[in-house]
Amino acid sequence: MTADSAWLGTQRLPEVTVHASGVLAQTIRAEVRQTRRFRTDVQIAVCTLTRVRETALWQEVEAAVPEHGLGVEGFVVVRRGNDLVVAAEGGHGLLYGYFYVLRYFEWMSGDFTVVEQPAVPIRMLDHWDELSGVVRRGYSGGSLFFRDGAVVPDLTRVREYARLLASIGINAVALATAELPDVARLAGVFREYGIAVSLAVDFIDDPRDERVARWWAATVARVYDVVPDLGGLVVRTAGDAEGANLLARAVAPYGGSVFWRCSGAEPEQDWRDRRADRARAAYDAFIPLDGRFEENVVLQVKHGPLDFQVREPVSPLLGEFQETVFGVELQVTQEYSGQQQDLCYLGPWWREILQFDTTGGGGVNVADRIGAIVAVSNVGDDLNWTGHKLAQSNLYAFGRLAWDPAADPVSLLHEWAAATFAMDDRTRSELVTILSGSWQTYERYTAPLGVGFMVTPGTHYGPSVNGYEYSGAGTYHFADRYGVGVDRTVKTGSGFTGQYPEPLASLYEDVYTCPDELLLFFHHVPYDHVLQSGSTVLQYIYDTHFQGYAEVEAMVARWRVIAERFEPTIRANITSRFETQLSNAREWRDQVNTFFYRLSGVPDSHGRTIHK
């Protein structure tokens, strides 16, 4: 069976001429040859700015180029009548411009001028694939890249994956370190699509040992001899942060960067000690180091202070670094959000994070401050790439939001669905309705009000309300007969709220102004505490868990109405996943509601069934 063509399967273009040279121009010509054709009078030209006068619209194109230029990746698209020109400084911009036209051509009408440049310069996907073929936190089969200790012999699917990434604007990937000839093979495939390969490494050495510095310098030199355009190193597990500078000095002569994942020395968790707080760790470790890193170090900050929970506050690090290049790390693979068994479209969550005002007072948002946006990929060797066919929407949305953090997540769903499935507008609208609210639905039937870590230890799928409560690995909900939540206030708790600037610190510190959805992240409150919504905390927990399950039932019912309009393989895949999700949502609903009823002894005010 052939692999799923995802959102590149239904798009069509008329004839295209390419006025450019180089590796990426050759890639565009190859794309033109394999793109489906249809007849129209429109003539499309793709050209570098140095050759734009070979086209009919050269004056319009030159007038549209910004005074500061287009940069390496920007492009212009101009249409007048039946002439359409894509122009850019070089191959990268042309490739992105070509995919822009492919994405929108059949929706385009009339004359227009578009100028596009990415908002974030580095847009990267991390792959935690092992050479054995196992993928850490992978929910879509084995590795695309590795099997039995080496790179797979046939790189056809890797090339198809590179196409998908380039079409949504991804320009970097991180892969496991393999034998150098194998690294060169992979880098060669991604190079054809303008994507730089970095190598994922672990650094637990002593950075003050000169022997360590010499070893890394020699090793990096050998790698760059084989792959001169290597992006750099991504440190996925690290010890002393001074190691970032050691590695940065090793890759600097070759133009490489070091992406250092920020994690502090977490306190020894003891369920008896309510002040030990994992949420504080990264800030406490890295803010004192601000300004002490080499220029080619990019600190990679998880979007929340914990670990990709379905609801967390935005990490205070994203607003506090002043003298260090940093990026935000998201998680496309759904470790804590359904693992591509449960439908959970994360686009709305990511946009909320990227648009978060880091000052709390009308200042710059996260997207304005970052130099990179990175995510752990959700792709494996399953034929449909992502296990759950509809989880492709998360990969698509990540790329599009990385390019334009202000993009509307629902509009992105319409784009993705129209490009992925051959269907009528009514079916597409129904599918978008199913997808668009699925993150909020997942949040409703899982951990409430930002409390987090009620998942099964190890697998992180399905409910285990006390799974991490007495362990040394997580943070706790501290539920007892009187109330629930983690006190992270300065006044009486761990002091985490004090890591935010004013007025955010005061907003989160005050139990009456803290946003409802984060209340239990920041405060321990009694069950009869009244939320800003007017509900008590306990009744809210009951209500949302019943509501979340009902919404999954409604999603399944909507799907059954349109399922016959999809190909049998796709229909079977999505139907099976919905059956799993319905069972999982029921388990979450019943376990969480029963847990809190048994603790509090307070019944549901609506008299619904809670198993006692």
Are 448 and 335 found together in one domain? no
Please give the helix or strand (H or E) that residue 161 lies within, else none.
helix 156-167
The Cα–Cα gap between 561 and 582 comes to 17
Per the structure, the complete domain to which residue 482 belongs is given by 422-486+524-611
CA angle 265, 270, 275 (to 5 degrees): 75
pLDDT of residue 523: 98
Please give the helix or strand (H or E) that residue 261 lies within, else none.
strand 257-261
pLDDT of residue 238: 83
Among 420, 441, 472, give the residue marking a domain's end. 420
Evaluate whether residue 331 is within a structural domain: yes
Among 61, 91, 116, give the residue marking a domain's end. 116
The Cα–Cα gap between 37 and 34 comes to 9
Are 430 and 407 found together in one domain? no
pLDDT digits (tens, 9 = 90+) for 117-128: 999 999 999 999
Are 537 and 560 found together in one domain? yes
pLDDT of residue 267: 63
Nearest to 573 by CA among 438, 418, 391: 391
Evaluate whether residue 517 is within a structural domain: no
Are 35 and 61 found together in one domain? yes
CATH assignment of the domain containing 199: 3.20.20.80
pLDDT of residue 239: 82
DSSP for 553-592 reads: HHHHHHHHHHGGGS-HHHHHHHHHHHHHHHHHHHHHHHHH
Are 309 and 445 found together in one domain? no
Do residues 253 and 217 make contact, with C-beta atoms less than 8 angstroms apart? no
Evaluate whether residue 494 is within a structural domain: no
Evaluate whether residue 558 is within a structural domain: yes
Are 224 and 108 found together in one domain? no
Amino acid at 15: E
**What's the pTM?**
0.97
* Burial of 434 (C-beta count, 10 Å sphere; 0-12/13-18/19+): buried
Are 310 and 442 found together in one domain? no
Here the contacts of 261-267 (C-beta below 8 Å, separation 24 or greater) are 261/234, 261/235, 261/236, 261/237, 261/300, 261/302, 261/329, 262/286, 262/299, 262/300, 262/301, 262/302, 262/317, 262/326, 263/238, 263/302
Evaluate whether residue 570 is within a structural domain: yes
Are 353 and 440 found together in one domain? no
Residues of the chain with pLDDT under 50: none
Amino acid at 353: I
Backbone angles phi, psi at 85, to 5 degrees: -125, 130
pLDDT of residue 266: 66
SS3 373: strand
Nearest to 158 by CA among 174, 177, 145, 148: 145
The number of folded domains in the chain is 3
pLDDT of residue 377: 98
* Burial of 21 (C-beta count, 10 Å sphere; 0-12/13-18/19+): exposed
CA angle 313, 121, 301 (to 5 degrees): 30
The Cα–Cα gap between 402 and 123 comes to 6
Are 264 and 378 found together in one domain? yes
pLDDT of residue 265: 60
The Cα–Cα gap between 91 and 86 comes to 11
Are 480 and 358 found together in one domain? no
Here the contacts of 608-611 (C-beta below 8 Å, separation 24 or greater) are 608/542, 608/546, 610/542
Evaluate whether residue 513 is within a structural domain: no
CATH assignment of the domain containing 82: 3.30.379.10
Among 96, 116, 136, give the residue marking a domain's end. 116
Nearest to 170 by CA among 428, 413, 373, 408: 373
Q: Where are the alpha helices (DSSP H) in 385-514?
A: 392-403, 409-420, 425-436, 438-445, 504-509
Q: How far is CA 378 from CA 152, 312, 388, 397, 462, in A?
A: 19, 21, 10, 12, 19
Do residues 520 and 531 make contact, with C-beta atoms less than 8 angstroms apart? no
User: E strands of 161-206, at which residues?
Assistant: 172-176, 196-203
Here the contacts of 356-362 (C-beta below 8 Å, separation 24 or greater) are 356/314, 356/318, 358/314, 358/318, 358/319, 358/501, 359/319, 359/501, 359/504, 360/500, 360/501, 360/502, 360/503, 360/504, 360/507, 361/503
How many CB atoms within 10 Å of residue 33?
8
Are 248 and 154 found together in one domain? yes
Here the tokens at position 517 are 């959805």
Are 469 and 339 found together in one domain? no
CATH assignment of the domain containing 471: 3.90.1330.10
User: E strands of 346-496, at which residues?
Assistant: 372-376, 483-484
- How is residue 6 annotated by DSSP? G
Evaluate whether residue 197 is within a structural domain: yes
Evaluate whether residue 24 is within a structural domain: yes
